[in-house]
Structure formats: C-alpha cells, structure tokens
Amino acid sequence: MPLAKLTATELLGQLAAGQVTSAEVTRAFLRRIEQVDGQVHAFLKVDPEAALAQAEAIDARRAAGKPVGRLAGLPVAVKDLLCTRGEPTTCASRALEHFRPPYDATVIARLKAADAVLLGRTNMDEFAMGGSNENSAFGPTSNPWDLSRIPGGSSGGSAACVAARMAPLAVGSDTGGSIRSPAGLCGITGMKPTYGRVSRYGLVAFASSLDQIGPLAQTVEDAALLLEVLAGHDPLDSTSVDRPVPPYTQTVAKPLDGLRIGLVREHFGPGLDPEVDSAVREAVAIYTSLGATVKDVSLPHSKYAVATYYIIAPCEASGNLARYDGVHYGHRTKQPADASETDSALVQMYRHSRAEGFGPEVKRRIMLGTYALSAGYYDAYYLKALKVRRLIREDFDRAFESVDLIAGPVAPTPAFPLGEKVDDPLAMYLFDLYTISTNLAGIAGISIPCGFSSTGLPIGLQLQAPTFEEERLLRGAHMYQTATDWHQREPELEIAS
C-alpha cells in the first residue's frame, strides 16, 4: 500500500521497525500534496526542503542509535494560527500576511520535541472566524469528496489535507466547532479537548474563553496519539490546567463496559437533514449492538447556544483583534492621510490599516462585539450571555449524571456548495448549531465518520464527554470504529501529472 494511504499509527510502526525512513515517508506526502493540492487548496505554505531536512536529521539520529521523540519522523500539518518562530503565521488574513513570530507556540514546541516533521501550514477561515473556510484571504479550500463544496471551517485546510491523504495528522483549533465540523464534513476524526487540556500559548486568539487546540486524523487511534503529545500543563498559559495526561494510546482500544449514551431530544427536530438523522441513529444502534444502553436526555438551554455564542465570541474577538492597528502588529496602510478628513492622521492610519487588513466576516464580528460591549448594552447583551452560558453548562452537568457520553449530529446537513451561504451570515451561524454548546460548556467533543449521504458526502457523529474525560471519549469513539469501516474510506481525486 502507498505510504500516503497508511494511518499515522501504521507509519509510526514501520518507522520504528526500520521498514521505512522518515525521508521516504515525507517524500510520499510531499508528492501527494503536489499531485492533489492544486485542486483542494488545503495548504497555504509547504516548504519541501525544510521538511526533508527535518526528516533526514531524524533518520540520522535513529541510525546512530540516539533517542528519538514520540512522533519521530511522522509528518504533521499545522493550522496557520499557531506561532512558529521565523515562519509566516498569517491566520489566513492580509492583516498578518507578513508576520513572522519570534517564538514557537507551546504546541509547536511539543511537536518539535516529539520529532514530528512539520509539513506545512494549512488554510483556514480568517482569524478562525467562519464555518466554511470561504473567509480565507487567500482563497477557499474545497472538500476532497466534492470539490464544489465546502470542507467546513475554520480548520478546513487541516481536515481536507488529512481526508485527501496529504498528511497523516493535522493540528486545528476549535472555538465553536472548528475542528469537529470540518472533520465531520470531510469524513475524518477530529477532537476538541476540554478547555485547558492543551496550551493556548502562541495560538493567535479569536475568543480566548472558547478557543482550544486539538487533533485531526484518519482514526481515533491516531487522534489519541497526537493528543498525547499536545496535551499537558503549560505555565505560559494561565488557563492551562495542571493535571496528568492519561496514556491515551494505551487505553484507547479498551471497550467501555456498561456504556451509557444519551441522545439529546432537542437535536432531532426541524432543520436536521433526514439522511443525517438516519445515519446518526444507525450509529447509535451500533453502540446498542456493542452492549451500550441509550436514553433520551435534555439540554433545554441549547436553543440559546447560537445567540449566546454570537455575543460572547465577537465580544472577545473585538478585544483580541484591537492590537492589529498597523503600529504594534499587522498590516499598515500605505494610503496617506487626507487633510480634508476630520480625523487625525493617526486615526486615519488606524482606520485604513484595519479596513484593508480585515475581511468582511472579521469586520462583522468586531463590530458585533464592540457594539455589545458598548456603554448601555454590556448588561443587556454580554452579561446576559454569560449567565445563559452557565445554564448551558449546568444542562450538561445534569445530563452526565445519568449518561457517560452524549451522541448526536455534528452538522445539520452534509457539506453545502461553495458560495451558497456566503452572503447569509445567519444561515452560516446556524450551521454550527450542534457544536457551539461544547465550547460554551468547556467540555470535550469528537467527530467521527458514521455514513454518507445519497450524493456521496460524509456524515459525522458527534460524541461529547464531561470535562477532562478525553480518555472515555476516545475509547467510546474507538469502539464504534472497530465495528464500522466509514473511517477507512477515502475520496477519489484526479492525480496531477
């Protein structure tokens, strides 16, 4: 079987056994990128020479009998919002097009310490604001299963590159579904860990109380492998939680005896595509056949999740993006000040720099957040949203008193056509209906493939677990993958000569 078709776990086994070198594996994926990424546009930057240099250095150390890291020689793609020293970190925005960080994000440092080969930087919605990957300043990414459709967002490039077998592993971030949604729409596995499980130091922030970094992979086993490297306390991140990281790869294959699964009754109603409904219910039936018990649970405040999220997230974005003023960070306009304008030259420079640097969706969210935080509206919008957020978390706490995992859809429909919702922000926001509450509650969630639509598009199953129960979540998801083969299917793409 071609190397690019193998899972990360299989490749790691072959590398450790000396059956293949890291240079050979890296060349295989670079060749695959060259063959298909012209159609998919999953990557914003690939540096073949640097990747091969990393691979050859790891091979030399291995050949000399020196210790190597947990991911030694395994290529990993990285979403382009994780600071990497000296490398462009653009967040898919003109505002940061020429930004080169002077330091590594903790996640990047951990990948380097594990001897991963950093393959390239993946495309995304600008500043992670979007659910379709159409908001990138450098053009959209396409879904490998149907190039006319979205891959999901904002980690669309990371999901698409794994689905198209251009990388065995990828790192993404999830603020309201940005790992799970593209994983579900592209037919791969994607996990949002508990808030605080993975360090956010060096992650270019969108909404600081919601953002979380996590793995995208072909299989749950591979996701467990990457999470094991990424997770852990970091004193550089004040929200990082100091608790041990379980050996996920050692326990992932152990079935969960007496597993109790909850189905949220509010998630199966108007707006849910019948094929998605059927695929999710069939997936739950598989769990029943494996010995799990299923019961209905209620999350009564979930109907307020979208409204709550689109107050809290834009408010935090408004503050986080204030630093991109053309002086401290980001694009600086070349447009001279207009003496006829009433604003000072400095204010004009700020205004023009931000107008030129930010795309429409980023501007929309900054304005929403600034308005909601303004005098006279803070209590009516932001403070009320924080109170509802607490109620959403309490709903999950009550549900998890009687079930171990919660199952449901990832998205209301399979991937929709590129351009279909780009001029309808409300429809785009509603597409995150089932994933947003996970971030508001700070709990863990995972998307695994559970079927295909009649038009051949992947459908994802979402599982949710209580805080810091990633081990349970991974074991539960792996149970399903041992009984099905949806995760083994891959899209057919034309190979460029």
Q: Is the peptide bond before 344 cis (omega within 30 degrees of 0)?
A: no
Considering all CA atoms of the chain, what is the largest pairwise distance in Å, rounded to the nearest integer? 75
How far are the Cα atoms of 12, 114, 197, 284 from residue 74, in angstroms, in the given order? 7, 9, 23, 34
The rounded distance, in Å, linking the Cα atoms of 400 and 224 is 22
CB atoms within 10 A of CB 147: 16
Asked if residue 446 lies in contact with residue 220, where contact means CB atoms within 8 angstroms, the answer is yes
The rounded distance, in Å, linking the Cα atoms of 163 and 185 is 10
* CA nearest to 189, candidates 163, 164, 211: 163
From 79, 155, 158, 240, active-site residue: 79
192 belongs to the catalytic site: no
Asked if residue 264 lies in contact with residue 398, where contact means CB atoms within 8 angstroms, the answer is no
How far are the Cα atoms of 11, 26, 30, 117 from residue 56, in angstroms, in the given order? 16, 9, 14, 10
154 belongs to the catalytic site: yes
User: CB burial class (10 A; 0-12, 13-18, 19+) of residue 136?
Assistant: buried
- Bridge partners (DSSP) listed for residue 215: 171
From 178, 199, 437, 453, active-site residue: 178
Please, what's the b/e burial string for 18-45 (b: 16 or more CB within 10 A of its CB; e: otherwise)? eebbbbebbbbbbbbbebbbeebbbbbe
302 belongs to the catalytic site: no
From 22, 136, 142, 154, active-site residue: 154
The rounded distance, in Å, linking the Cα atoms of 134 and 418 is 8
Structure-derived torsion over alpha carbons of residues 365, 367, 373, 375, reported in degrees to the nearest 10: -170
Describe the chain by its helix, strand, coil percentages, rounded to 5: 45, 15, 45
Residues involved in catalysis = 79, 154, 178
